[in-house]
């Protein structure tokens, strides 16, 4: 079985180290709990890649030079696999799907592949901020960490989330998953965000 190591930060950030020398920094896994699967959980479990995690803080004032060498914009995610380096979640999840064994999470037919890519882009561009950084962060994460909460941010997040869900509803297929009867990268991008979003009482 393939293996990897995850270094994880509480505030929606993680670094993933695959046993064959890959590193992956990702922004969807806040406050690790047994009841919620983050994006790496979904992806690596589906691909049959075992992993563990430890914490790291890329939001610190003094971000390590090694991190900045991997991701010059001081963001997450980033991946290092041997001599190959990449950042941006969509590029990384597609790479993991294609580089590792296990079920394929992308389709080859052009219209089906385009629809999945469109949903992934919507999720990464428009869903993450309102669902996680606004609603989950201010309704759940910040209160637990005894940090200031802004009720207006929750309201703005809920309003934006409604637009995101309406758009996804129009694009969703008839099957069990977003794009039909098979799990795809589109589902894996969205699922952890929904997991944190629904923890908010609002």
List domains and CATH numbers for the chain.
Answer: 2-99 (3.40.30.10), 110-197 (1.20.1050.10)
Contacts for 82 with CB less than 8 Å, ≥ 6 apart? 20, 21, 22
Q: Is 140 exposed, middle or buried (0-12, 13-18, 19+ CB in 10 A)?
A: buried
Token output for 186:
């589109």
Query: Would the pLDDT of 28 be above 70?
Result: no
Look at 11-25, 82-96, 174-188 and tell me which has the smallest mean pLDDT.
11-25
pLDDT at 142 over 60: yes
Q: Which residue has the tokens 């959980």?
A: 41
pLDDT of 54 higher than 90: no
Residue, of 131 and 192, whose pLDDT is higher: 131
Question: Would you call the peptide bond into 77 cis, given omega within 30 degrees of 0 as the criterion?
Answer: yes
The better pLDDT of the pair 10, 75 is held by 75
Greater pLDDT, 24 or 49: 49
Lowest mean pLDDT among 25-39, 40-54, 82-96, 98-112: 25-39
């Amino acid at each position: 079985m393939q293996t990897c190591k995850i270094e994880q930060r509480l505030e929606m950030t993680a670094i993933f180290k695959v046993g064959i020398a890959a590193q992956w920094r990702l922004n969807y896994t806040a406050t690790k709990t047994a009841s919620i699967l983050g994006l790496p959980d979904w992806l690596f479990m589906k691909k049959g890649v075992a992993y563990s995690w430890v914490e790291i803080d890329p939001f610190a004032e003094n971000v390590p030079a090694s991190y900045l060498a991997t991701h010059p914009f001081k963001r997450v995610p980033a991946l290092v696999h041997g001599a190959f380096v990449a950042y941006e979640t969509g590029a990384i999840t597609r790479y993991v799907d294609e580089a590792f064994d296990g079920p394929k999470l992308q389709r080859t037919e052009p219209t089906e592949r385009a629809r999945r890519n469109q949903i992934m882009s919507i999720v990464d561009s428009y869903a993450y901020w309102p669902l996680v950084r606004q609603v989950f962060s201010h309704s759940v994460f910040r209160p637990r960490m005894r940090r200031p909460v802004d009720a207006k941010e929750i309201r703005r997040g809920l309003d934006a989330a409604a637009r995101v869900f309406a758009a996804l509803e129009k694009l969703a297929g008839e099957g069990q998953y977003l794009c039909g009867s098979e799990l795809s990268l589109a589902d894996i991008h969205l699922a952890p965000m929904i997991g944190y979003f629904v923890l908010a009482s609002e």
